[in-house]
Amino acid sequence: MGAAARTPAPPSGLAAAAEPEERELEAALRPKTLDDFVGQERVRKQLALVLAASRIRGRSADHVLMSGPPGLGKTTLAMIIASEMNAPLRISSGPAIQHAGDLAAILSSLTEGEVLFLDEIHRMSRPAEEMLYMAMEDYRVDIIVGKGAGATAIPLELPPFTLVGATTRAGLLPGPLRDRFGFTGHLEFYSVAELELVLRRSAGMLDLKLTSAGFAEIAGRSRGTPRIANRLLRRVRDWALVHGIETIDTSTASAALDMYEVDARGLDRLDRSVLEALVNKFNGGPVGLSTLAIAVGEEPETVETVAEPFLVREGLLGRTPRGRIAMPAAWDHLGLRMPGNAVAAAMLPFDEDDIDD
């Protein structure tokens, strides 16, 4: 049963690891009800209807799948589902379930109506995934006893429960698993206006005073992600506290975030390193992922999963069949003039399955 826990693991974000006090503060800022949850209007309304219907029927809610980039509220929504259904919450993750026995141990200990949250569900092992099919559909699992020809399957009945799965890569989920979820919600990046609402709520809980321009400055550097917005708010709070500033305005927020190397567009040190390497060392590309990663002193997976998604979404970096290229906006952001041969590279056709060296 070590694969499951009843308290959430600290989410990954702009900072690598948060101290216990930081994690507690982050948990305290999470909204507790759907009414308090800011943004994701479509998903919120659909989910509210699903939960209300379940309460009227007096049954557990349908299984829920939440997909979308990190930091947009998948874990928070799982907690809200448990709270709205007045049910206990069990938390685990796909990577923690590497054997069918790990999943069987979790499922066999669930109580009626309990909400089981599986983060990064697409990373579960195949045997555990196949066991989950029957558990979700028939509330039953088969426990295999023995080996070889003498092995027997003992059916174990499960109480009705609600599975909430979260994934950052919905395309990796097999069709049979996706089809067993009664509701699927995709979370989108937040607008600056929505992030300002998130920050206003958090500032009220932290007893901070900010001007409207101060909220806008932090929101504009938060990469469309509430988790990052709240983290930057806390860093700005620390900077203001050390400098004896009571009301945080644009200049205060800007000075604080500049010190933490988060620029006006939300790019951090790694993002700028990738763009600067592309522009200064490879004349805008194209260059393979492995070569680019070596140039910035990071692992290829870090560049691909941490920096690239935001840079591509912002139109600063492009992926082509020949490798990564710096887009015209990247040159502008770095204050450099784009040479003619880089313009030609930027016109290369794009391909998601780009060839890498």
pLDDT tens readout for residues 206-231:
888 999 999 999 999 998 899 999 99
pLDDT at 281 over 50: yes
- Write out the binding residues: 29-30, 71, 74-76, 137-139, 180, 190, 227, 319, 324
Could you please report the per-residue DSSP string of 222-272? STT-HHHHHHHHHHHHHHHHHTT-SEE-HHHHHHHHHHTT--TTS--HHHH
Integer Cα distance of 150 and 178 in angstroms? 34
pTM (two decimals) = 0.79
The 10s digit of each residue's pLDDT in 116-136 is: 999 998 888 888 888 888 888
The 10s digit of each residue's pLDDT in 85-102 is: 888 999 988 888 888 778
pLDDT at 8 over 70: no
Q: Are strands 162-167 and 152-157 parallel, antiparallel or unpaired?
A: unpaired
Task: Kindly list the catalytic residues.
Answer: 74-75, 119, 168, 227
SS3 319: strand
Q: What's residue 146's pLDDT? A: 57
The 10s digit of each residue's pLDDT in 33-45 is: 888 888 888 999 9
Q: Are strands 152-157 and 140-145 parallel, antiparallel or unpaired?
A: antiparallel
- Write out the binding residues for Mg(2+): 75
pLDDT at 353 over 50: no
The 10s digit of each residue's pLDDT in 289-313 is: 888 899 888 898 888 888 888 888 8
Alpha-carbon radius of gyration of the chain: 23
Q: Which long-range contacts (CB under 8 A, 24 or more apart) does 241-249 make?
A: 246/209, 247/209, 247/210, 247/211, 247/214, 248/208, 248/209, 248/210, 248/211, 248/214, 249/210, 249/211, 249/213, 249/214
The 10s digit of each residue's pLDDT in 56-73 is: 988 888 899 999 888 888
- Write out the binding residues for DNA: 319, 324
Integer Cα distance of 354 and 289 in angstroms? 10
Half-sphere exposure for 239 (CA within 13 Å, toward CB): 18
Integer Cα distance of 74 and 64 in angstroms? 11
